[in-house]
């Protein structure tokens, strides 16, 4: 399995925004573009678009080879040209099926103490 994130999250004018994740299941002979996540959002299916964003990295689990996390950031060029939409959301996304589908990770602090 090979994954490649498109787009450059750096804040430079020559950086280009992305359109999703490229995934190859056959060692790089063929590729498919995954343009968005599939999430359950307020009791309905909602896809967060990767268009206009940039991928800064992937991390694979050493315990579960099917689990991979992607860090997705805003792209300066994507913002400048209005490529991001209301459905574009930067953050951590995870896949439990080797990158075939993605979900936005939610991180919660269960602490009731506010300092």
Q: How do residues 8-40 score in pLDDT, each as one tens digit?
A: 877 666 778 888 999 999 999 999 999 999 876
- Ordered by start, the domain boundaries in the chain are 2-102
Segments in the chain forming alpha helices (H) = 76-80
Distance, in Å, from the CA atom of 14 to the CA atom of 31, rounded to the nearest integer, reads 26
Give the distance from CA 71 to its chain's centroid: 6
Share of the chain above pLDDT 90, in %: 42
More confident residue, 43 or 97: 97
- How many Cα atoms occupy the beta-carbon half-sphere of 74 within 13 Å? 13
- DSSP 8-state assignment for residue 48: P
Structure tokens that stand for 65 in this block: 């080879």
């Amino acid at each position: 399995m090979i994954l490649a994130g498109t787009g450059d999250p750096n804040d430079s004018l020559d950086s280009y925004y992305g359109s999703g994740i490229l995934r190859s299941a056959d060692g790089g002979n063929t590729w498919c573009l995954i343009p968005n996540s599939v999430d359950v959002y307020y009791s309905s299916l909602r896809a967060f678009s990767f268009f206009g964003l940039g991928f800064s990295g992937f991390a694979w689990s050493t315990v579960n080879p099917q689990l991979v996390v992607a860090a997705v950031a805003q792209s300066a060029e994507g913002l400048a040209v209005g490529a991001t939409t209301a459905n574009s959301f930067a953050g951590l996304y995870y896949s439990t099926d080797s990158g075939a589908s993605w979900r936005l990770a939610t991180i919660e602090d269960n602490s009731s103490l506010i300092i």
